[in-house]
Structure 1
Amino acid sequence: MTRRTVARTLMYASLIAATVVVLLPPAAVVLTSLKSEREMANGSGALALPEDLLNLSNYATAFQDGRMLPAFANTAVILLLAIGGTVLIGSMTAYAIDRFTFRFKKPVVALFLVAALVPGVTTQVATFQIVNSLGMFDSIWAPVVLYMGTDIVSIYIFLQFVRSIPVSLDEAARLDGANAFTIYRRIIFPLLKPAIATVVIVKGITTYNDFYIPFLYMPSEDLGVISTSLFRFKGPFGAHWETISAGAVLVILPTLIVFLFLQRFIYNGFTKGATR
């Protein structure tokens, strides 16, 4: 065997091993979700095939007893408000940083970077006190405000795209009598579509999968989102792993479908932002 053949063999072997490692856990979850309580009690392995591959009773139990429908509704409301606010705040902030000249501009940008590097857990005590003092604890506005106000990465994504827009467009608009907000609304914002698509997808998936903020700031069962509703299976269904697995599949499916259809926007957005 030549050196090139050995290298290619090792490459494919490593890819196959990585694929197996990645796919085994979701495969085990899907197979477990199709098993009956009797099969689980008999101690069948996680990767053992279920007796009935069309057994969807666990999904019905997870959807009804896990209050998945209200959880999906709460998640959708939080997603719409948080993503909309993030896009507006991020794009406006990036526009102001790049186009306006003001004192301490560089320190402000540096502080944004520092804030992005600080772990969010280290500031949770102060954040919780602020949210509680504003009367937003145990309300849907707590996660919405936190998601909108703590996304520094979105600002940097928008900033890379704003810097690629020629300043001559702003100057031409000013000659026509446009003010700063009109320039942003009619020129800058429409040209940020690739960045907006990237932020919407990444922010949406991150918000959808987040467990910590909804669990901490919305303890009421009526305000449960997808992630916290799945966690509540730990109580009445603590030993019923087939039901827990069915709930996990229901939670995973939406993000998986969105990612499969929109993954090119994610890759293109990050690639264009990095090369601008």
Structure 2
Amino acid sequence: MAGRKIGRGVIAFLKYFSLVFFSFVAVLPIVSCVITAFKTDEEYGSTNVMTLPKSWFNFDNFVQAFQKANMGKAFVNSFIILVCVLAISTIIGTQLAFVLNRFKFRGNELIKNLFLFATLLPGVAMQVSVFGIMTNLHLIDSLIGYIILMCGTDVISIYIYIQFFENIDKSLDESAIVDGAGYFTIFYKILLPLLKPAIVTSCILKGVGTYNEYYNANLYLQDKKL
């Protein structure tokens, strides 16, 4: 018994030690950036990255970033893109998943398989075709074009919604139909509120991916004003 307790204690120690260590490694770059942001050019060149700045009230770097790098406009554009992409993706994704799950028609499985096939295609391999389409539609250097592009790459969210619909009993739909409800009422008033966990999960995944997107943003939003 004593040996088991010691073994469990060692395992618990290693588990928490590894969690603390990797958390420290993950937070270290962020702390370094915060410290460096308050340093002068002279301090940055003469000290290491973890040396504290002489003054925590040196905001010259922030002023230059907002004035010269136009970060204020960049934050506003990022917020607009993020909100629009999440809203449009949620509306389209939930409706499409509802149709594919609740209605059985010819081509239903084909559409699902096409979505699955799309997840296997690397995005880089399709960039030439996508860039040509965006150019011909005059959507380069356009926030609307970029929002459309980001909304069109949401296959994972659709599968998340479909899996959640699988766990919702269809008897709810049938009961609502008996009471005189139409499909729009069933979807918006009964099923959509039940999809909150799936919507939150999808928004987290899509939101992080959209906000951290660099390649497409750099390729399709080349105008420095954006």
| TM-score, length-scaled by structure 1 | 0.74
Counterpart for residue 164 of structure 1: 167
Change beyond 3 A, Cα 1:87–1:35: same
Identity of aligned residues (%): 40
Counterpart for residue 206 of structure 1: 209
Counterpart for residue 249 of structure 1: none
Counterpart for residue 20 of structure 1: 24
Please tell me whether the aligned partners of residues 86 and 207 of structure 2 are also in contact (alpha carbons under 8 angstroms).
Answer: yes
Change beyond 3 A, Cα 1:179–1:13: closer
Q: CA RMSD in A?
A: 2.0
Of 117, 128, 132 in structure 1, the residue corresponding to residue 120 of structure 2 is 117
Report the Cα offset of residue 86 of structure 1: 0.1
Please tell me whether the aligned partners of residues 139 and 146 of structure 2 are also in contact (alpha carbons under 8 angstroms).
Answer: no
Deviations 1:37-68 (A, max 9, x none): 111232x1111121113322212221222212
AA in 2 matched with 1:179: G
2:191 and 2:10 map into 1 onto residues whose CA distance is: 52
Deviations 1:146-181 (A, max 9, x none): 111111111112112222222112112222343333
The yes-or-no answer on 1:71 pairing with 2:74 is yes
Counterpart for residue 216 of structure 1: 219
Report the Cα offset of residue 27 of structure 1: 1.7
Of 73, 88, 94 in structure 1, the residue corresponding to residue 91 of structure 2 is 88
Aligned length: 222
Deviations 1:193-215 (A, max 9, x none): 22222223332222122111121
Q: Rg bigger for which structure?
A: 2
Report the Cα offset of residue 5 of structure 1: 4.0
Counterpart for residue 35 of structure 1: 39
1:1-276 to 2 correspondences below 5 Å: 2-42=6-46, 44-223=47-226
Does the residue aligned with 1:210 lie in a helix, a strand or coil? Answer: coil
Which ranges of structure 2 fall in alignment gaps of 5 or more residues? none
Which gives a bigger RCO, structure 1 or 2 (Cα 8 Å, sep 6+)? 1
Change beyond 3 A, Cα 1:37–1:111: same
Change beyond 3 A, Cα 1:63–1:166: same
Report the Cα offset of residue 91 of structure 1: 0.1
1:182 and 1:169 map into 2 onto residues whose CA distance is: 12
1:165 and 1:5 map into 2 onto residues whose CA distance is: 43
Which ranges of structure 1 fall in alignment gaps of 5 or more residues? 224-276
1:13 and 1:187 map into 2 onto residues whose CA distance is: 46
Does the residue aligned with 1:222 lie in a helix, a strand or coil? Answer: coil
